[in-house]
Amino acid sequence: MLDDKLIVEARGESLLAVKFTAMASPCEVLLPPMSEHAALAMGAVAAQEARRVEKKYSRYRDDSVTAWIHENRGTTIEVDPETASLIDFAGQCFDLSEGLFDITSGVLRRAWNFDGSDQIPKADVIAGLLPLVGFEKLQWHSPCLLLPTGMELDFGGIGKEYAVDRAYELLTAPDWTPFLINFGGDLRANRPPSHGPWQVGIERPDTDREATMLLDLEHGALATSGDSRRFLLKDGIRYGHILNPLTGWPVPESPRSITVAASSCTEAGLLSTVAMLHGAAAQAYLEEQGVRYWLLE
């Protein structure tokens, strides 16, 4: 059934899926059997929150907070509490990753277009953009921000995971119904349904959502980083879309995908992305963090 672009679909005899699209991704909320009305009500909460976060922080909209920040480059502005919290978190990520996770690195998109072709940008073009990258170059004293002229903020690296956690909090607050939120492969569950753990597939790289393994998840979050759909290929070398902000280039010898389990989706997403940025040392980094992970070469 369709209700404001929400579709309720039976998954066998023991699950319902409320499906919708947000953040350019297929999204769903998995639920135990219940009335269609109740399922749509829960799905609507998740969908509205996903679309709210997307509208507020998308770099593709001219009415987003991100666009407003960019319009006011070079001057000091005061951001709202939610945006201030996200910038604070991004600053913590920057420090903890020793500069590998940087929300100012989106400016490198001016050089890179990961469309599967062999069009590698020239080194001098990338070098010319590097002075515009670096969280430490922001003048940030919460809630006041001065974004230097020419620089950009890009919340895309944390936006989807943040939306999962926000939707999770909203669905947890009024009820204790088991649910699993899945926004484009980043997910979080509150508790398992009565028939047993949630079954979660980890996608095999270079397939159309074909699972390479199934995981049992009772509660907590999973996030995946990988290069399956966005890359360049030249002279037999694959250039994945995850860029090292310190060099402006894709990280060599990265795994094809990394899935990390954590208590929140935001934390899982940070760990999986930073692990990818460690390239050949990804597994060693994850071992140091003491987290559960699944790595595909």
Q: Any bridge partners for residue 293, and if so which?
A: 260
Summarize the confidence of residues 166-182 as an average pLDDT. 91
Q: What is the DSSP letter of 142?
A: T
Q: How far apart are CA 227 and CA 231, in angstroms?
A: 6
Mean pLDDT of 109-129: 92
The pLDDT score that the predictor gives to residue 2 is 39
- Angle at CA 52, nearest 5°, toward 46 and 58? 125
Task: Report the pLDDT value the prediction gives residue 234, as an integer from 0 to 100.
Answer: 84
Match 């004293």 to its residue by tokens: 141
Burial bucket for residue 142 (CB in 10 Å: 0-12, 13-18, 19+) = middle
Helix boundaries (H) for the chain: 36-57, 65-71, 81-96, 123-129, 156-172, 265-277, 282-289
Compute the half-sphere exposure of residue 6: CA atoms within 13 Å on the CB side of its CA. Answer: 24
| Tokens at 267, concatenated | 């934390």
| Nearest one of 39, 47, 1, 49 to 20, comparing CA atoms | 47
Distances (CA, A) of 6 to 24, 44, 47, 190: 15, 7, 8, 22
3-state DSSP helix/strand/coil % of the chain, to nearest 5: 35, 25, 40
Per-residue pLDDT at 1: 40
Place of tokens 């002279």: 235
Q: Which two tokens stand for residue 192?
A: 């398992």
CA–CA dist 60, 154 (Å, integer): 10
* Single-letter amino acid, residue 50: A
Across 93-100, average pLDDT: 95
What residue type is 233 in one-letter code?
A: L
Structural contact between residues 254 and 227, judged by C-beta atoms closer than 8 angstroms? yes
Token code pair at residue 35: 């009335």
Count how many residues are written for the chain: 297
The C-alpha angle 204, 276, 135, rounded to 5 degrees, equals 140
Confidence of residue 5 (pLDDT cuts 50, 70, 90): confident
Residue 197 reports pLDDT greater than 90: yes
User: Phi and psi dihedrals of 141, rounded to 5?
Assistant: -135, 90
241 pLDDT tier (thresholds 50, 70, 90): confident
Query: Does the structure show a pLDDT above 80 at 206?
Result: no
Residue 279 and residue 179: Cα distance in Å, rounded?
Answer: 34
Q: Is the pLDDT of residue 122 over 70?
A: yes
Q: How confident is the model at residue 210 (pLDDT cuts 50, 70, 90)?
A: low
pTM: 0.93
Q: Using alpha carbons only, how large is the chain's radius of gyration in Å?
A: 20
- Crossing angle of the two packed helices 81-96 and 36-57, in degrees rounded to 10: 70
> Omega of the bond prior to 143 within 30 degrees of 0, cis?
yes
pLDDT score of 188 more than 90: yes
Per-residue pLDDT tens over the stretch 7-36: 999 998 899 999 999 999 999 999 999 999
* pLDDT-based confidence at residue 252 (cuts at 50, 70, 90): confident
